Structure 1
Amino acid sequence: MTVGDAELVTLAQAGDAGALGVLLTRHEAGMRAVAVSLLGYGPDAEDAVQDAMVTALRRVGEIRDSAAVGPWLRTVVRNNARMTLRAPRPTPVADPGWFAHPATEPTPEESLDSGALRDWVWHAIGELSEPDRLVTMLRYFSDASSYDQIAAVCGVPVGTVRSRLSHARRALAGGLRAAATSTHADVRAAGDARWREGVDMIATAMRGDFDHVVHDTWWPDAQMVVPGGPRGGRELAVRGMTSDLHAGVRQRLRTVVSSGDVLIWETDLLSPPDNPDHCPPAALWLQVLREGRVRQLTLFHPVPARL
């Protein structure tokens, strides 16, 4: 007996990744037809479909008319395609709400936490290769979410970003198509620990003791990279933080996202009152770890995507 869409949506909303996989497989042809009708055959159409599948992971809980999931998925694809057609440059084309983090809206992690698919999602992201995982986390869980900003952070061409994202989305969608229903470890505790760790480290840095943070948590040969700027070792990081503190700049941790050996902090930069334009409003700390210690930090100042 074939299970209907309504029952599959109910199961997916209860956290059954396999049920969501069946839904996506069932409606994939219709989703692709919409994308091709607007974008033609090619990578843009495939991106629109794959982004819709990733969006479904987060937003399946928002579906009210469970029998109309097919039209809902096709609408997501149609919106993605239209945004691609309108975009003057590569920008996020999935769900804008996943990228914007206004104070009155839930963060991406909070949105995932509201659904039982959270653990499956983070397990699946953790199974990606480090390059694919890195670009996926930046695109879906950071302010540096446009293709050109991801390329700047990672130091690779935009085409490489597109390729890695496409590979990652295929892996995530493929996992769903395979009806991956096994249970995975609860990621909330690990996420909470990373958040507390980040808060403590930023607080220590704001007291003028960032050198202690670097000494305790960075490898001696760790590298710091500023896209379009300097590159150096631990002393560059300490010198930069010390200079900011002397100038009256303060930082406040806003977001922490981690998976495997990739850790992302996003901080608000607070310029001194007498020089409100001293620094950009935010910073992204992309930390690549080895055995739990930082082996490379890329410091980037995101520009919010214009959708």
Structure 2
Amino acid sequence: MRDVMSEAPSDAELVRAVQGGEVAAVGVLIERHRAAMHAVALSVLGYGPEAEDAVQDASLIALRRIGDVRKAESVGAWLRMIVRNVCRARLRSAVSTTPLPELGAAEGPEEIIDRHAMRDWLWRAIDELSPLLRMTVMLRYFSPRTPSYEHLAALCGVPVGTVRSRLSEAVAKLAGAMAATADLVHEDTATLCRASAKEAVETLAAAGQGRFAELTAERWTPDAGFYVGRHRAGDRNFLVRGMADDLEAGVRQRFRSAVAGRDMAIWEMDLVNPPDRPAHCPPAVAWVMSMRHGRMHQLRLFHAPSAE
């Protein structure tokens, strides 16, 4: 097969190249059609950063779903359709709850990954990104309640513009990372997610039984800390006290889902408030964890906004 990066092959040839394993050709396709994708976003959302954000979201969807294209010569229309779907989802909600509308709202992140043949390869590529890019990608594209750009900025302690630039950089690098890891053994992502989910359930059970301090001493690093943005706001004891205070106030956490990579995991919990104080806490919280040697090292919390 000829080198798709040195000539000007047709769209159909690029799609066939991708489906034959030349993942870098996805980048060529996206760049070729970026102007048309952006035009669609502008026509739906108007001028502003939201249009570029929609193109970025659509680009990652294309990277993940390129194997589904049946009419290779119509890939341009397929890319524009993805952008249009993303834009419509943004219009339906001021805070987008999923950047993957065409995959079905009933599917969670693990189901979405499971249905795609390239899931483990993609996760291996995500693991090749820098920790900052990896955290941003996982929160934006794989967290069940996707944070807005503003929430992501607050969670990471950076300006909104930095979040946008990180996502743009991550999408640009993923195709190259997938090409670089094509011949490597790809860890079973579903197994990682199941193991992480089991750990989350055990953690909540330990908290309810008064063993949270004991469990965290065993499973977290000695210098594990709680972070707000880029700043360390407390140590393990601070988190243990916080969990104890919530339990004493009658607040319970109920496990919902987990996504996990090589050294990062996101647990989403529903927050169940006491009957006499139904608005005591937001409806849900995501534990965003950076791991070190398989143990939790840094924890950030993202509280989902209430429906009101």
Q: TM-score, normalised by structure 1?
A: 0.79
Choose from 33, 38, 51 the match for 1:35: 38
> Aligned residue for 1:163?
165
Change (3 A) 1:291 1:66: same
Change (3 A) 1:30 1:57: closer
Shift of 1:294: 2.2
Moved more, 295-304 or 132-141: 295-304
Moved more, 109-118 or 40-49: 40-49
Task: Determine the C-alpha separation between the residues in 1 that align with 2:254 and 2:40.
Answer: 45
Change (3 A) 1:180 1:258: closer
> Aligned residue for 1:246?
248
Shift of 1:263: 1.7
Secondary structure of the structure 1 residue equivalent to 2:300: strand
> Aligned residue for 2:139?
138
Match of 1:117, as an amino acid?
M
- Unaligned 5+ segments in structure 1 are none
Choose from 253, 256, 259 the match for 2:258: 256
Shift of 1:30: 2.7
Secondary structure of the structure 2 residue equivalent to 1:283: strand
Moved more, 192-201 or 123-132: 192-201
Alpha-carbon displacement from aligned partner over 1:133-171 (angstroms, at most 9, x marks no partner) = 011101011124211111111111112211211111110
Shift of 1:269: 0.6
Choose from 275, 293, 301 the match for 2:303: 301
Match of 2:32, as an amino acid?
A
Match of 2:61, as an amino acid?
T
Alpha-carbon displacement from aligned partner over 1:203-242 (angstroms, at most 9, x marks no partner) = 1112222111221122232221356x99211221111111
Task: Determine the C-alpha separation between the residues in 2 that align with 1:7 and 1:159.
Answer: 32
Choose from 204, 224, 227 the match for 2:226: 224
Shift of 1:19: 5.9
Report if the CA contact (8 A) 1:17-1:179 is conserved.
no
Choose from 92, 95, 99 the match for 2:100: 95
Task: Determine the C-alpha separation between the residues in 2 that align with 1:96 and 1:60.
Answer: 16
Choose from 23, 35, 53 the match for 2:59: 53
> Aligned residue for 1:18?
21
Match of 1:55, as an amino acid?
I
Task: Determine the C-alpha separation between the residues in 2 that align with 1:199 and 1:97.
Answer: 31
Q: Over the residues paired in the alignment, what is the CA RMSD in angstroms?
A: 3.8
Report if the CA contact (8 A) 2:204-2:253 is conserved.
yes
Match of 1:72, as an amino acid?
W
> Aligned residue for 2:81?
75
Change (3 A) 1:245 1:38: closer
> Aligned residue for 2:123?
122
Task: Determine the C-alpha separation between the residues in 2 that align with 1:37 and 1:242.
Answer: 50
Task: Determine the C-alpha separation between the residues in 1 that align with 2:97 and 2:243.
Answer: 31
Secondary structure of the structure 2 residue equivalent to 1:301: strand
Match of 1:69, as an amino acid?
V
Secondary structure of the structure 2 residue equivalent to 1:263: strand
Secondary structure of the structure 2 residue equivalent to 1:18: coil
2:177 is equivalent to residue 148 of structure 1: no
Report if the CA contact (8 A) 1:17-1:180 is conserved.
no
Shift of 1:276: 1.7
Report if the CA contact (8 A) 1:91-1:305 is conserved.
no
Match of 2:37, as an amino acid?
V
Change (3 A) 1:81 1:245: closer
- Which has the higher relative contact order, 1 or 2, with Cα contacts under 8 A spaced 6 or more apart? 1
Task: Determine the C-alpha separation between the residues in 1 that align with 2:180 and 2:225.
Answer: 41
Task: Determine the C-alpha separation between the residues in 2 that align with 1:49 and 1:275.
Answer: 42
Task: Determine the C-alpha separation between the residues in 2 that align with 1:112 and 1:214.
Answer: 30
Alpha-carbon displacement from aligned partner over 1:48-101 (angstroms, at most 9, x marks no partner) = 4442221124445765766643311122234446777x6998868943467x9x
Percentage of matched positions with identical amino acids: 45
Alignment of 1:198-217 (within 5 A): 198-217=200-219
